[in-house]
Amino acid sequence: MTVPSTYLQMFSTLNESGELRLELIEKPVPTPKANEVLVRIEATPINPSDQGVMFGWADISAASTAGEGSRAVLTAPVGEQGMRVMRARVGQALPVGNEGAGTVVATGDSELAKNLHGKVVAVMGGSMYAQYRCVDAASCLPLQDGHTAKDGASCFVNPLTALSMIETMKMEGHSALVHTAAASNLGQMLVRICQADGVELVNIVRKEEQAKLLRDMGAKHVVNSSSDNFKAELTDAIHATGATLAFDATGGGSLASDILACMEAAASRTPGAYSIYGSVKHKQVYLYGNLDTSPTVLQRAYGMAWGVGGWLLPNFLAKAGTEVAGRLRARVASELKTTFASHYTNEISLVEALNADTVRQYYAKHTGEKFLICPQK
């Protein structure tokens, strides 16, 4: 396979004037160092975490695209509050894309690197919205025979997040989980993991068709937050499972508070679990997403044994250590087409990812929708 001398890579830049620019920049193809490999990126997903770097606080409803082909540039205004939050990145061209997969087309001189030549690998190392990426050979996850780059494009963020939720549950002494936005690709993975591992799971969705999707998968406890009886149904499900840990992908609004209140209501049904300070069992909600950008509202009606905090995959993996991270990665590789299969609703090129109308589609982050960038398209 002939390797070109230059390649296109996506960058996001915030100007002092309050304009955010998303564009493709032509760069020279690097030569791998001793322990590096050059990967021809063939598939890379658009995750919500990627959009934080791509757009930050920009007003995507007012975004527009000028120019044709690889010279297209998307611009969007950033208001005063957004500029205050994003001040530290003004003038910096930030590369985009957390993960992806493709074929190793050149390597350095080390045995580890040379053994990867010609293999399809998955990579999580940033700067993945590009046609080529030079990475450390040790950071690559070789895919099994018969697995394509599309199969492996999303094998880090969602699979490792889902598995790490279970690991967090075990490490912190909980026995069951509550998960929001549960019909997402990640949510469906979590359902399959819990079924395989015998973990009780309460799934919260927003639409009845999402609830049906999960029930058809065999999920036992599915509650619809748009139902008039949502809190009563959630309390029943939490009581049935004993869940005292939740992962909330929405972040904003009162959902985290509602979950804690229902955990407290469920605990009060157990004789001896209640005191004048509320139930004694600690209840924890981790916010790991930002689908709802409004403030997080806590209406304290759940005693004193509770917590709400942020949760981020890289931080967890660093805390868990290399043995745990390696074990989780190995499981993902072995179950890539089953437990951790991802489904994409749209496949687009790097240029198409800059189209304002397309951006508004994937920026909406509708549950069950997932866009895949194919940089060689």
Token pair, residue 158, equals 């969602």
Rounded to 5°, angle at Cα 307 from 304 and 312: 175
- pLDDT at residue 270 in the model: 78
* Integer Cα distance of 310 and 40 in angstroms: 34
Q: Where are the alpha helices (DSSP H) in 139-218?
A: 149-152, 157-171, 185-197, 208-216
- pLDDT at residue 147 in the model: 94
Decide if 131 contacts 70 (C-beta within 8 A).
no
Query: What is the average per-residue pLDDT within 61-89?
Result: 97
Token pair, residue 264, equals 């407290």
Burial of 49 (0-12, 13-18, 19+ CB in 10 A): middle
Question: What length does the chain have?
Answer: 377
SS3 at position 211: helix
Residues 171-211: tens digit of each pLDDT:
999 999 999 999 999 999 999 999 999 999 999 999 999 99
Q: Which CATH number fits domain 157-317: 1.10.1750.10, 3.40.50.720, 2.40.110.10, 2.60.40.10?
A: 3.40.50.720
Query: What is the average per-residue pLDDT within 260-289?
Result: 88
Considering the segment(s) 6-155+342-373 as one domain, its CATH architecture is Alpha-Beta Complex (3.90)
Q: What are phi and psi of 185, to 5 degrees?
A: -55, -45
- pLDDT at residue 221 in the model: 98
**Among 72, 27, 102, CA closest to 372:** 102
- pLDDT at residue 267 in the model: 92
Token pair, residue 116, equals 């990867």
Percent of the chain residues past pLDDT 70, beyond the cut:
99
Instruction: Kindly list the domain boundaries of the chain, sorted by start residue.
Output: 6-155+342-373, 157-317
- pLDDT at residue 312 in the model: 95
Q: Is the pLDDT of residue 276 over 90?
A: no
Residues 233-243: tens digit of each pLDDT:
999 999 999 99
- What single DSSP character describes residue 138? G
- pLDDT at residue 274 in the model: 62
Residues 104-130: tens digit of each pLDDT:
999 999 999 999 999 999 999 899 999
* Integer Cα distance of 98 and 285 in angstroms: 25
- pLDDT at residue 277 in the model: 84
Q: Where are the alpha helices (DSSP H) in 39-144?
A: 48-55, 80-85, 111-114
- pLDDT at residue 82 in the model: 95
Token pair, residue 209, equals 């068709």
User: Which residue in this structure is represented by tokens 């931080």?
Assistant: 315
Token pair, residue 61, equals 């409803």
Token pair, residue 328, equals 């989780």
Q: Model confidence at 293, in pLDDT bands (50, 70, 90)?
A: confident
Q: Is the pLDDT of residue 273 over 80?
A: no
Q: Is the pLDDT of residue 317 over 80?
A: yes
Query: What is the average per-residue pLDDT within 283-308?
Result: 94
- pLDDT at residue 278 in the model: 87
* Integer Cα distance of 29 and 27 in angstroms: 6
- pLDDT at residue 246 in the model: 98
Query: What is the average per-residue pLDDT within 82-101?
Result: 97
* Integer Cα distance of 211 and 219 in angstroms: 9
Decide if 39 contacts 133 (C-beta within 8 A).
yes
Query: What is the average per-residue pLDDT within 319-341?
Result: 94
Considering the chain, what is the average pLDDT of its residues? 95
Percent of the chain residues past pLDDT 90, beyond the cut:
92
Q: Model confidence at 282, in pLDDT bands (50, 70, 90)?
A: very high
